[in-house]
Amino acid sequence: MNPPPSIALFEHRFWLQILGDHARFIFTSLAMTEQHQLQQANSFIENLDQLLGEARQAKNGTEVAALTQRAYQQAQALRAFKLEILKAHLTVGVQTSLSPTFYNHMVNEVEEYLRILGFLMAGGQPPLLPPLHYHLLWLKDAEGHASGLRVRFDDTEREFIERSDSFRIRFNDYYNQSVEFSGYQRTGLADFPALARLNFTVETVMQDFREFLATVGGAVRSKEALSVLSPLIPDHMDREECYYLIKLAQVSQVRPPDCDPARPRVNN
């Protein structure tokens, strides 16, 4: 039995916008000499924006099924494009201001969407996975977010830099804890008190980080903070943290966040 269209549309409306952000980040990171990659990135921006618009309008199962097929094709192509740039980064070189790890994290995310799309295309409901699956995916990403903020602030913005670094350290600690806890599950235990505590700790700290992102976003838009951040960066990060907390709430005892991971992106 096919899942209700609302389940697929929730995923599409979040992920298609996230992937569209990725295409924008890649486009703005590339040097003008990288004409082929610039053209490809721009094409992904246009195609993903079109699919996102369709996802926001789709209502019935037939429309959603067709959208799912096209989203899968576009996500596969974007994954290959990211890996192509990452491979060049590691070998012959490519003129991009994004690091190899940044590209690697973007590959991790598109692969999570592809995993979900596989179930949707088969007419099934994507299964919810244990909390550690979401911790391993999103905590390393959140560490990258905090690190990315830290290096984009002007040296005079010590408070922003120090707070970013504090979050970076904590997310790295929680990620390392999650790696160890994954090994503990070889005992056959799917849950245990220390994991429950990690879930609640992550919820609290991630909510604090979301408040920090809101502060950063406001300061960037008002020019009150000196940085090379675009408003899209903290906005993108917050939508991902919102999605993470929603998934965590679905598979643990933490409270669901009051946010919409598919809200329209801010304009740069």
The CATH number given to whatever domain includes residue 102 is 1.20.1260.120
Angstrom distance (rounded) from CA 52 to CA 58: 10
Is there a single domain that holds both residue 154 and residue 232? yes
Is there a single domain that holds both residue 38 and residue 78? yes
Q: Which residue range is the domain that position 118 belongs to?
A: 1-126
Is there a single domain that holds both residue 250 and residue 134? yes
Domain finish residue from 126, 147, 170: 126
Taking the model in full, what pTM does it have? 0.96
Is there a single domain that holds both residue 120 and residue 147? no
Among 41, 168, 174, 170, smallest CA distance to 101 is for 168
Identify the pLDDT of residue 59: 82
Domain finish residue from 94, 126, 158: 126
Domain finish residue from 126, 142, 177: 126
Is there a single domain that holds both residue 89 and residue 190? no
Is there a single domain that holds both residue 122 and residue 148? no
Q: At 99, which helix (H) or strand (E)?
A: none
Identify the pLDDT of residue 192: 97
Is there a single domain that holds both residue 236 and residue 258? yes
Is there a single domain that holds both residue 92 and residue 141? no
Identify the pLDDT of residue 58: 87
Is there a single domain that holds both residue 34 and residue 119? yes
Identify the pLDDT of residue 127: 95
Mean pLDDT by 10 residues, the chain (268 residues): 86 99 98 96 99 94 95 99 97 94 98 98 95 98 98 98 98 99 96 98 99 98 97 98 99 97 92
Identify the pLDDT of residue 1: 60
Tally the domains of the chain. 2
Is there a single domain that holds both residue 103 and residue 140? no
Task: List, in order, residues 6 or more apart from 265 with CB less than 8 Å away.
Answer: 17, 20, 21, 232, 235, 236, 239
Is there a single domain that holds both residue 193 and residue 144? yes
SS3 207: helix
Contact present, 99 and 106 (Cβ < 8 Å): no
